[in-house]
């Protein structure tokens, strides 16, 4: 029974830590603050993770596993590639509401191993999913036949560094979710055919996606 409770507490810790990291950043968020938000003692937290660095790594590993699970789930239940993209976009917009760009900079500066895990995931798994999605979309007539899918996928996975650049988009003037919405709309309209544009409009209305 005790191990079950610890697993539940660990999951609760990782979910709450991810939520707080993404809204407050990582550097200035203390273990005391996380413990207080969970009404949990620091001693209990340190039973589950060695230190803050270990917690950051665990959060990133969980995020990666959740994203892999999401793509697998969506691939199995969507009617076409645009339907899949719309579901992915919906999830991304939910996750980035209130996102603090400092989170990525904090991770890059102070937790380089976790940052490397995150970037490697984007450059491998996410890249592969995007290429597969676009290839399916081209075959089904939703995306342009002259797409260089490998180049477009790399632009997509690499654009995050631009979207969080505070010299271009200071957080005080540009909420991250607004920047992401504009980029996603720009991306989708650049790759779809007329057939794809009509299907995109249908899927956006069906799933109430506001981009």
Give the pLDDT confidence score for residue 25 in this predicted structure.
96
Neighbours of 73 (CB within 10 A): 11
Give the pLDDT confidence score for residue 34 in this predicted structure.
97
Give the pLDDT confidence score for residue 191 in this predicted structure.
97
Closest to 82 (Cα-Cα) out of 172, 180, 207, 170: 207
- For 113, the enclosing helix (H) or strand (E) is helix 112-121
Give the pLDDT confidence score for residue 5 in this predicted structure.
46
What is the distance in angstroms between the CA of the first residue and the CA of the last residue of the chain? 46
In words, the CATH class of domain 53-207 is mainly alpha
Give the pLDDT confidence score for residue 2 in this predicted structure.
43
What are the backbone angles phi and psi of residue 35, rounded to the nearest 5°?
-60, -45
Domain ranges for the chain, please list them. Answer: 53-207
Q: Which residues of the chain have pLDDT under 70?
A: 1-5
* Contact between 183 and 163 (Cβ < 8 Å): yes
Task: Tell me the C-alpha distance between 199 and 197, whole Å.
Answer: 5
């Amino acid at each position: 029974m005790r191990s079950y409770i610890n697993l539940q507490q660990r999951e609760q810790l990782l979910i709450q830590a991810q939520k707080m990291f993404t809204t407050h950043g990582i550097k200035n968020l203390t273990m005391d603050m996380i413990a207080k938000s969970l009404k949990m003692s620091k001693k209990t937290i340190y039973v589950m993770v060695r230190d803050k660095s270990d917690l950051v790594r665990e959060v990133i590993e969980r995020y990666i596993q959740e994203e892999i699970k999401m793509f697998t789930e969506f691939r199995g239940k969507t009617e076409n590639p645009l339907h899949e993209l719309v579901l992915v976009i919906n999830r991304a917009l939910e996750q980035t509401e209130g996102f603090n760009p400092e989170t990525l900079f904090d991770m890059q500066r102070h937790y380089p191993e976790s940052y490397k895990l995150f970037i490697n995931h984007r450059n491998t798994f996410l890249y592969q999913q995007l290429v597969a999605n676009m290839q399916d979309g081209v075959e089904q007539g939703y995306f342009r036949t002259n797409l260089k899918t490998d180049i477009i996928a790399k632009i997509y996975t690499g654009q995050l560094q631009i979207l969080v650049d505070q010299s271009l988009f200071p957080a005080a003037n540009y909420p991250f979710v607004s920047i992401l919405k504009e980029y996603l709309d720009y991306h989708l309209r650049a790759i779809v055919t007329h057939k794809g544009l009509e299907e995109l409009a249908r899927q956006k209305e069906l799933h109430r996606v506001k981009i």
